[in-house]
Chains A and B, each alone.
Chain A
Amino acid sequence: MSLIQMDFSSTALQRFTTMEVFLPDCKVPENGFRSLYFLHGYHGNHTDLLRRLNLLAYAEQHDIAIFMPDGDNAYYADFPERAEYYHQYIGEELVQMTRRTFPLSTRREDTYLAGISMGGGGALRLGFSYAGTFSKVASLSGYLVENEAFDPVGHGTNVFKALDDVLMARSASMFSFGFPGSSLVDLPLIYLTIGADDGLRESNRQLSRMFSMYEIPHIYQEFAGEHNWSFWNARLENLFDFLNADPLDVMQDWNRQRSQSEKASGIGSSEGGEA
């Protein structure tokens, strides 16, 4: 696996920015490498994921290019007053620039997005906005910014509000196309995982319930653990299982999860093994 530290000028951020890249050494597949854009958490930076996660082993095993951009403490949101458009940077500029620079597949089915904590929330919102770019989105212990107090000036950091927007757009397209459940672009498949002792567990459960209510396919798993690196290292196995899974299998898991939660009625989510 090659490690690349890349410094470059970003239009969306109006400054130089930096990222770390893992690029597989194997022969480039016919369509190019699969790519995973991986977002760090609050207080972190692009080197976090290198230093604190054993990502390299998984990247090597699965021959996936991994891009770890620097997202500051900005929730991967747009800040017009600062001329810093992180949402647009990740969802458009970064994807295009990396695809033109490296031998990557440009297919949606080969393009994934994941994040930890603040990066998990960011990955979900970006997945909603750029559903045509990413086929799978994973949130590890996502911080969903459900509290309005944290988003006083409406930067769109609240994942629930972002979901509302998707649902609004969906219902608008439902009227225009005249049949239920239709949307302009299907949402990416979603993976949510959270530690049983994580303070963010309730909000993640709530989000999973919302997804279920609106029949948005997703996998929700709780495991013993807290909001820390040992939890996220243990989740890499689950993350890459999800990324490598056939989308049809993920849909089957989702249907199984849904029927279980219907039986357990009232708890709109399964509580995955290992607890």
Chain B
Amino acid sequence: MAIMKFDIPSETMGREVTFEALVPSESLREGEKLKTLYLLHGVQGSYINWITCTNIYRLLGMRNANMPSEAADGDSGENGHQTPCRLAVIMPSGGNGFYHPIPADPFYGRQANMGHQHDYEAFIARELVEKTRKMLPLSERREDTGIAGLSMGGYGALYLGVKYADTFGFAGGLSSALLTQRSRDENFVEGAFFRQPDFLDFVFGGFDDNRIQNDVYTQILVTRHRAFEAGVPLEEALPELYFACGEQDPLLTLSASLDERLTKAKVPHTFETHPGAHEWAFWEWGIERILQRF
């Protein structure tokens, strides 16, 4: 399996950006298309974290080795392409922006219309998907495209996965930082810069209305409502939702609360817990679960 470091110009980020990709290049068959998992890091991290801190290279290799590079006969998709089975993983950098559009340059102030933003949302959900599909042999089908992440990236994956459900058929969050208005106000988080109310307001664009829109649960309900209005089946309107959290993780209440609310609202999802804290040992377990599942 090839490990590829990309440096590409990005319009939505207004700068050159770096990301890593794991692609089974050496054994690609003629015309083979791959499933794709966009994998997001946590706060204070970068594109390199999943590679350096987990065994993802080996885990993905084992997962792909157990998959035929072409589906069985009679399972071919449209245009005569075989249904993709093997998986590529794309790991972008999201700064500390919770995968939102945030003002990047303090000299340009905080106005959203200044055009000098780090638009992590548009970058991950649109530009990165579009560009990686152009550069690599990736399936463009929704059911072959997933997004996942840990902590801040778990929030980002669930949020973007739901908001861009036309692109993503799977959304997975590990130890997701599902920050709500209440979690900000209750100040369960203190100390680190990214737990400060000022920083959260900066990243999430302020209080109340914004925060409610940026909430994963709200996003899911709004999406479901729109699907209902449009007569779209729920499984087409929402990605497959998977989230998990360590049993000793202080963020466990956030995932457990989402599980509880989704269950009450009868939204299909899978929630798992496993021994572990907010740490790589847990994410090692979690990424293996996600690679198997997706």
Q: Which residues from chain A sit less than 8 Å from chain B, CB to CB?
A: 1-11, 23, 25, 28, 97, 100-103
Contacts and interface: CB of A to CB of B under 8 A. Distances in A.
A25 B26 CA distance: 24
12 contacts: A1-B9, A3-B6, A3-B8, A4-B7, A6-B25, A8-B2, A9-B2, A11-B26, A100-B32, A101-B136, A102-B136, A103-B134
B3 interface: yes
Contacts of A101: 2, 23, 25, 28, 136-137
Contacts of A10: 26
Contact of A7 (B3, B28, B137): B3
Given A9-B1, A101-B136, A102-B136, 9 more contacts: A2-B9, A2-B135, A4-B5, A6-B2, A6-B5, A23-B135, A97-B25, A100-B29, A100-B137
Contacts of B3: 6-8
Nearest to A23: B135
B1 A8 contact: yes
B58 to A, nearest CB: 13
A111 to B, nearest CB: 16
B53 interface: no
Interface string B1-38: 11111111100000000000001011011101000000
Contact of B5 (A5, A100, A102, A103): A5
Contacts of B5: 4-6
Contacts of B135: 2, 23, 102-103
Contacts of A25: 8-9
B6 A2 contact: yes
Interface residues of B, number: 21
A26 to B, nearest CB: 10
B21 to A, nearest CB: 9
B8, B28, B30, B135 interface centre (most CB from chain A within 10 Å): B135
A265 B19 CA distance: 58
Nearest to B4: A6
A28 B136 CA distance: 12
A23 B25 CA distance: 16
Contacts of A9: 1-2, 26
Leading 8 A-B pairs by shortest Cβ distance: A8-B2, A100-B28, A2-B8, A101-B25, A3-B7, A5-B5, A6-B4, A7-B3
A180 to B, nearest CB: 38
Given A101-B137, A102-B136, A7 B25 contact: no
A100 B30 contact: yes
Nearest to A1: B9
A129 B163 CA distance: 53
A3 B18 CA distance: 9
Interface string B207-233: 000000000000000000000000000
B138 to A, nearest CB: 11
Contacts of B131: 2
A97 B137 CA distance: 12
B241 to A, nearest CB: 32
A28 B3 CA distance: 23
A8 B9 contact: no
A72 B248 CA distance: 50
A155 to B, nearest CB: 25
Contact of B4 (A4, A28, A103): A4
Nearest to B29: A100
A168 to B, nearest CB: 34
Nearest to B134: A28
A1, A101, A102, A103 interface centre (most CB from chain B within 10 Å): A101
Contacts of B4: 4-7
A268 to B, nearest CB: 44
A1 B3 CA distance: 19
A27 B136 CA distance: 14
A8 B25 contact: yes
Contacts of B8: 2-3, 25
Contacts of B2: 6-9, 101
Interface string B173-198: 00000000000000000000000000
Given A2-B135, A7-B2, A9-B1, A100 B7 contact: no
Contacts of A11: 26
A2 B127 CA distance: 14
